[in-house]
Chain A
Amino acid sequence: DVKVTQSSRYLVKRTGEKVFLECVQDMDHENMFWYRQDPGLGLRLIYFSYDVKMKEKGDIPEGYSVSREKKERFSLILESASTNQTSMYLCASSPRTGVEQYFGPGTRLTVT
């Protein structure tokens, strides 16, 4: 069974703080993704990575960066958190040409 885990289910941070969201997958997948989910807006792709040390911007990369130093781990970084980054963050992974994405349970981030 594919497992995608995220470091926290709930996180509360203050405006201006640096925030790290970690994602780990155990199926040796090449591709990893970070999305944010907001009511009425669905899933929006922030960044994705198709290999170690490789990253590509998604639809809404502003205010975020990512790191992929190891194949199994993909980190999302908020350099200076702002209230408009309060959201549910979902990590996913997939094989290189796979149809199916496997999602983690999500991290609900609140920035106050």
Chain B
Amino acid sequence: GEDVEQSLFLSVREGDSSVINCTYTDSSSTYLYWYKQEPGAGLQLLTYIFSNMDMKQDQRLTVLLNKKDKHLSLRIADTQTGDSAIYFCAEPSGGSYIPTFGRGTSLIVHP
């Protein structure tokens, strides 16, 4: 079965880089994604990466994929207080369109 693991909390200082890590189990996943949940809101797709890529960069966000270790990371450069949220790693379940979500990492940004 599929399982997505991520740590529950990360605390960083404003201006520093944040790195949120995730491990997954389904090596056949064609893509993996990161969702962001701001306080009091639903989830919103932040970015995704196809499995044939090692890295994807989008402004302050960098996604790294290590297929050999089934490890996915999200790096946020110059972290701001507005980045405080819960970040969910997700992969499609068994090749379907339904994602399996990790438990979410709460990113806390302090001054």
Chain B, range 3-45, C-beta contacts under 8 Å to A? 8, 31, 33, 40-45
Q: Which of B8, B42, B98 contacts A4 (CB 8 A)?
A: B42
**Nearest chain-B residue to A30 (Cβ)?**
B97
Residues of B within 8 A of A101 (CB): 43, 45, 99
Stretch from B60-68, B70-78, B101-109 that touches the partner: B101-109
Q: Which of B33, B41, B42, B88 contacts A42 (CB 8 A)?
A: B88
Known A-B contacts A43-B88, A99-B48; the reply to A105 vs B103 at CB < 8 A is no
Shortest Cβ gap from A21 to chain B (Å):
13
Residues of A within 8 A of B45 (CB): 100-101
Contact B33 A40 (CB under 8 A): no
Contact A45 B104 (CB under 8 A): no
Residues of B within 8 A of A109 (CB): none
Q: Which of B8, B42, B88, B101 contacts A40 (CB 8 A)?
A: B8
Contact A106 B41 (CB under 8 A): yes
Contact A92 B31 (CB under 8 A): no
Shortest Cβ gap from A62 to chain B (Å):
19
Known A-B contacts A42-B88, A45-B98; the reply to A105 vs B104 at CB < 8 A is no
Contact A31 B97 (CB under 8 A): yes
Shortest Cβ gap from A105 to chain B (Å):
5
**Nearest chain-A residue to B30 (Cβ)?**
A99
Q: Which of A98, A104, A105 contacts B97 (CB 8 A)?
A: A98
Known A-B contacts A42-B104, A99-B33, A99-B48; the reply to A92 vs B98 at CB < 8 A is no
CA distance A104 to B44 in the complex (A): 9
Chain A, range 95-112, C-beta contacts under 8 Å to B? 96-101, 103-106
Question: Which 6 A-B residue pairs are closest in the complex by CB-CB distance?
Answer: A103-B42, A42-B103, A43-B101, A103-B43, A100-B45, A105-B42
8 A-B residue pairs with CB within 8 Å:
A33-B98, A41-B103, A42-B102, A42-B104, A90-B43, A99-B48, A99-B97, A103-B44
